[in-house]
Homo-oligomer: A and B are copies of this chain.
Amino acid sequence: MRAIAIHRGESQPRLCEVPRPDPDTGAVLVRTLRVGIDGTDHEVLAGSHGGFPEDDSYQILGHEAIGVVADANGTELTEGQLVVPTVRRPPGAGSNEYFDRGEPDMAPAGEYVERGIAGAHGYMSEFFTSATEFLVPVSTAFAKTGFLIEPISNSEKALELAYTSRSSFEWSPETAFVLGNGPLGLLSLALVQQHEFERTYCLGRRSRPDPTIDIIERLGATYVDSRETPVSEVGAVHEQMDFVCEATGYARHAFETVDALAPGGVGVLLGIPSDWTFEVDGGQLHRALVLENKALLGSVNSHVPHFERARDTLADCPDWLTDAIITDVFDPTELDAAFETGPDRIKTVVEFGTR
């Protein structure tokens, strides 16, 4: 079968022929429809995640996918069922406590591999296999958009952590601020728009006309240009934020989030920056966290319950939104173009099939 993979010693993906996998007991064969590309894929190409599957000279890319069960292999799934796969799998043949209790997203390094990212093949191929416990069934309505469930699921987990962290007192958030207008930022904004927040804001560093600003404003949020209004000043320029969701990977934003938060507010960090040493007013940050009961949480990955919630969130997104976010659809043969980036691109997807 055809697969888009990165080979050891190379930094660009290639379309290659690889053996079609056979599903083990408890697993099914899935025919791939669409696979999204995100920043993590580019990091995998740059080698910052590393971790080729053992015994293979290549890694199939892709961790945001939607496909159709092609061989149910005696499981409870039926052929023709659309499914979205989760990302983490146990390392090696066995399992561990995190997978046993359905929380692989909470596993520390060494206790998981990530399909398409580190140590396991991804989904950017004509077929893939997966144990059914890692597949979330979705209706046929998701054939073109279901690969967005994976990124949305990360935002669902962030929001869940935020709410639970504030659950020992009465927290009635009115304001939400999403940092970042990339695909994850825009999908996080779409998520918070479906919750109780009365006023929402989204940070970017682009000038009009811009398709992401159009989306932000059509969603009813206020665009904040970080070149004019730094995160730390959003409280003075607009208002303090009950919830901040960081989706930029820009390390200064983690600290500026504390300044942006309202008393009792919570910021969740999703970005994964590299080392970067800089000065902060650590005394002021520490004091603000304490005197105003603020919280700063990190969140990575997600699992089945978050995928299920993300499926419901995506179902409630209007068509114009997914149409506007999915800007570029490529055939697997066009992989060079698929891995380019540009100002008019939001979400790029590789399409192996349409139904």
A288 within 8 A of partner (CB):
yes
> Which one of B274, B275, B283 contacts A273 once the chains associate, using CB atoms below 8 Å?
B283
Closest to A270 in B: B290
Report how far A254 CA is from B285 CA in the complex, Å. Answer: 9
A292 within 8 A of partner (CB):
yes
Give chain A interface residues in 270-303, CB to chain B under 8 Å. 270-300
- A290: which B residues are within 8 A, CB to CB? 269-272, 298-300
- A292: which B residues are within 8 A, CB to CB? 108-109, 298, 300
A164 within 8 A of partner (CB):
yes
Give chain A interface residues in 232-291, CB to chain B under 8 Å. 251-252, 254-255, 262-264, 269-291
Q: Digit string of A2-32 for contact with B (CB within 8 Å is 1, else 0)?
A: 0000000000000000000000000000000
- A169: which B residues are within 8 A, CB to CB? 103, 106
Contact indicator B269/A276 (Cβ below 8 Å): no
Q: In angstroms, how far is the closest chain B Cβ from the Cβ of A53?
A: 21
Closest to A170 in B: B101
Give chain A interface residues in 149-188, CB to chain B under 8 Å. 160-161, 164-170
Report how far A343 CA is from B322 CA in the complex, Å. Answer: 65
The A interface is mostly helix, strand or loop, or mixed, namely: mixed
> Which one of B160, B170, B275 contacts A103 once the chains associate, using CB atoms below 8 Å?
B170
Contact indicator A251/B283 (Cβ below 8 Å): yes
Closest to A278 in B: B282
- A255: which B residues are within 8 A, CB to CB? 282
Q: Digit string of A319-332 for contact with B (CB within 8 Å is 1, else 0)?
A: 00000000000000
Contact indicator B272/A281 (Cβ below 8 Å): no
Contact indicator A291/B283 (Cβ below 8 Å): no
> Which one of B109, B166, B251 contacts A282 once the chains associate, using CB atoms below 8 Å?
B251
Which of A101, A275, A279, A287 gathers the greatest number of chain B CB atoms within 10 Å? Answer: A287
Q: In angstroms, how far is the closest chain B Cβ from the Cβ of A170?
A: 6
Contact indicator B263/A108 (Cβ below 8 Å): yes
Report how far A160 CA is from B168 CA in the complex, Å. Answer: 7
Closest to A276 in B: B283
Q: In angstroms, how far is the closest chain B Cβ from the Cβ of A154?
A: 10
- A167: which B residues are within 8 A, CB to CB? 164, 167
Contact indicator B106/A286 (Cβ below 8 Å): no
Contact indicator B263/A106 (Cβ below 8 Å): yes
Query: What are the 6 A-B residue pairs with the smallest beta carbon separation, nearest first?
Result: A289-B298, A276-B283, A108-B263, A165-B165, A290-B298, A254-B286
Interface residues of A, Cβ cutoff 8 Å to B: 101, 103, 105-109, 160-161, 164-170, 251-252, 254-255, 262-264, 269-300
If A251-B286, A295-B297 are given as contacts, then 10 extra A-B residue pairs at C-beta distance below 8 Å, sorted by A number, are A106-B264, A273-B286, A277-B282, A277-B283, A278-B279, A289-B296, A290-B298, A294-B297, A294-B298, A295-B296
